[in-house]
Structure 1
Amino acid sequence: MTDFATRSRAATDALRDVFPPTPLLKNAYLSERYGADIWLKREDLSPVRSYKLRGAFNAMRKVRVADPGQMHFVCASAGNHAQGVAFVCAHFGVRGQIFMPVTTPEQKILKTRTFGGDAVEIVLEGDFFDETLAAAKAHCAEAGAHFLSPFDDSDVIEGQASVAVEMMEQLGRAPDHLVLPVGGGGLSAGMLSYLREVDAPTRATLVEPAGGASLTAALRIGAPQTIEITDTFVDGAAVARIGDRTFEVLRNIPPGDVLIAPENRICVTIQEMLNLEGIVLEPAGALSVNVLDDIADRIAGKTVVCVTSGGNFDFERLPEVKERAQNWQGLKKYFILRLPQRPGALRDFLDLLGPEDNITRFEYLKKNSRNFGSVLIGIETERAGSFDDLGDRVASRGFGFRDITDDNILADFLI
């Protein structure tokens, strides 16, 4: 066994002082749907509801062995890494400072405090994460603290490899196919490094959110680059730059094995797993399940493991998830209706709606002229394709009718 595999097993053994292996569960619904044996590695069931605890624990454990006098640790995060660091600070009895953006939701701050207790201090600094990260690293230099990277650290990568160690022990062998999310690359670099070094004949599919596909961008030019995050919905995986260390492991991944998941389609998966399976997944945690349709031909008859990487989902986001899922399914749209200001005009428009169409929003915007007014109207339907028929009917009657659902500027401002 190679050094990395040996260290990964040691990290896995050490983790047993903190929590038992997360379950590897066969999912009957997905297995039947795709004609494969599909297992879910449930990292959403760790003590902090994500795999991030593993890397944070292993990195802190090794620092404490090398330098027992180091009692001060710092990280920058507004999500799962913060909670993992807080948890292990309390476990080791060391001082932790968690730097978070000023804009971090109170719910995430509260959860981090809950896991860390008196061992951690929350420091709110910067409006954007880059500012928060810079402040955290500057403080480390001044205070002599140790900075715990969320992914681009060899000990963190080694800790995340424990997911692969557990998976193989629980399954009794290597799976034929592994599907896992990619953000900064710590999980994928750790798991793939372990599988390679034990000569596992496993094919891997990596998944990135469309709004932050930094690995795809790096593979295109052969080196990490900073990209623009165009959608922050998958906040656990939308990373502007893949890690340098993690990319060295991932640079030879065939581009066809790195898939892009649209954010609205991810919302469909979140709803399905919650409603059909009772499994609560955060957007990043749903990535691996979300792309099964895309690889259905590759996995038929195979043993497949999907890593559900996290379950820290804020239920206040459910209305947004429903809305985005309906958008992807073609079941809800928003329009600007140019309505003649005459008696009966609204009635004429309403008569054009089908029996499955339901108005969910109706808001008069402003009077454009003496003869017409503009209305923001939201419509839900039960059948994909209904909007094509509605558009034809509306056009035949001469109403101005503009679909703004996918116009990000107008939608953000009006909806």
Structure 2
Amino acid sequence: MRFSPDDVDAALATVRAALPPTPQYRWPLLEQALGGETWVKHENHTPVGAFKVRGGLTYLDWLRRTQPGVRHVISATRGNHGQSIGFAARRHGLQATIVVPHGNSVEKNAAMRALGVELIEHGDDFQAAADHAAALAEAQGLHRIPSFHRELVRGVTTAYVEFFEATKAAGGAPDVLFVPIGLGSGFSGAAAARAHCGVATRIVGVVSAHADACLQSWRSGVLVEAPATTRIADGMACRLPVADSVALMRAEAEDLVAVTDDEVAAAMRLFYATTHNLAEGAGAASLAAALQQRGRWAGRRIGLALTGGNVDAPLFAEVLAGGKPAA
């Protein structure tokens, strides 16, 4: 997926009308743990605590320009995408309905309701919620926003444009960037930004070992459906990948790696101990993968996408205490 310079500039203008660039910092204790210069892109510092807000802003800006008659949108989420849609819909005066699976994050649900969305709980996982959102859109004549779309990716690209431009100015873009993967908008945005900024950074995608449909699809070249049973990285709980996203990963990824819930929990603890930043499970997956591949990248410049910090307090307390999250 490629965007023209005008496409990227327009996305940057849309996003920056709602939020400033997020920071990218080096943390000495984290660099000691990884054995190399390490830059963390802090997307946990956006107004909804996650990178997804960028895609919601560009998608709804595009929707208002191309389909001005739309007044009510619907989508499915595990939380951060839904907050993104709620945040952007409120800016445009649109109604938003969000479908989440039963047992979804209590605090993410509360955050979405606080943004004014109508929240519906349906199904046992994201895919069931997405199928229900599609059925409701058809029955009620609502505009359905998918979780992977060119306009969502265009917004997400702005995060990595900020990152690559800032690190270039500070001595050089990283040799490798670790990016968590749910359905792949983050990875796609990173790849688009790499092309836009003209850097040679290798991009490693990170999936949950307990939701590895994207990894299996990437390896085989055909879409593979697989259970999504991660207890801690709900933002990566993909059961059925998107064909366009997998094709892009196959073209652009240096590698895809899988991290376990235990590895993610350890990374959440390490992020907190070394940076005092809160990382949700998916947000810490990049660090989990970098730790897993420490020997490969020691002494090199490393980039980590801390994509979000929206984790329920009881779960984070359990993680900090070193316990395993309850099933």
Say yes or no: TM over 0.5.
yes
Find the aligned partners of 1:291 and 1:135 in 2 and give their Cα distance: 33
Deviates more, 1:165-174 or 1:87-96: 165-174
TM-score computed with the length of structure 2 as normaliser: 0.90
Counterpart code for 2:178: V
Deviates more, 1:5-14 or 1:240-249: 5-14
Structure 2 counterpart of 1:84: 84
Deviations 1:107-140 (A, max 9, x none): 33211111x23xx222233444333222211221
Q: What's the offset of the Cα at 1:311?
A: 0.1
* Pairing 1:103–2:103 present: yes
Find the aligned partners of 1:127 and 1:269 in 2 and give their Cα distance: 27
Structure 2 counterpart of 1:160: 156
Compared CA separation, residues 127 and 262, structure 1 to 2 (3 A) = closer
Higher relative contact order (CA 8 A, sep 6+): 2
- Pick one of 120, 125, 128 that aligns with 1:123: 120
CA RMSD, Structure 1 to Structure 2 (Å): 2.3
Structure 1 counterpart of 2:220: 221
Query: Is the 1:232–1:238 Cα contact (8 Å) retained in structure 2?
Result: no
Compared CA separation, residues 282 and 106, structure 1 to 2 (3 A) = closer
Query: Is the 1:178–1:205 Cα contact (8 Å) retained in structure 2?
Result: yes
Give the share of equivalent positions with the same residue, in percent. 25
Query: Is the 1:53–1:81 Cα contact (8 Å) retained in structure 2?
Result: yes
Deviations 1:235-261 (A, max 9, x none): 11121122222112111356x721111
Counterpart code for 1:84: S
Tell me which protein shows more strand as a share of its residues.
1
* Pairing 1:286–2:284 present: yes
Structure 1 counterpart of 2:27: 27
Find the aligned partners of 1:101 and 1:57 in 2 and give their Cα distance: 24
Structure 1 counterpart of 2:68: 68
Q: What's the offset of the Cα at 1:306?
A: 0.5
Find the aligned partners of 1:140 and 1:107 in 2 and give their Cα distance: 26
Compared CA separation, residues 318 and 201, structure 1 to 2 (3 A) = closer
Deviations 1:315-369 (A, max 9, x none): 111354257x467xxxxxxxxxxxxxxxxxxxxxxxxxxxxxxxxxxxxxxxxxx
In structure 1, stretches of 5+ residues that fail to align are 328-410
TM-score computed with the length of structure 1 as normaliser: 0.72
SS where residue 305 of structure 2 aligns? strand
Compared CA separation, residues 176 and 9, structure 1 to 2 (3 A) = farther
Deviations 1:74-119 (A, max 9, x none): 11123111111111111111111112234335433211111x23xx
Find the aligned partners of 1:130 and 1:204 in 2 and give their Cα distance: 26
Q: What's the offset of the Cα at 1:69?
A: 1.8
Work out which of the two has the higher radius of gyration on C-alpha atoms and give 1 or 2: 1
Compared CA separation, residues 129 and 180, structure 1 to 2 (3 A) = closer
Q: What's the offset of the Cα at 1:164?
A: 1.3
Counterpart code for 1:125: H
Find the aligned partners of 2:57 and 2:154 in 1 and give their Cα distance: 10
Find the aligned partners of 1:34 and 1:143 in 2 and give their Cα distance: 51
Structure 2 counterpart of 1:400: none
Compared CA separation, residues 208 and 163, structure 1 to 2 (3 A) = same
In structure 2, stretches of 5+ residues that fail to align are none
Q: What's the offset of the Cα at 1:161?
A: 1.0
Counterpart code for 1:162: T
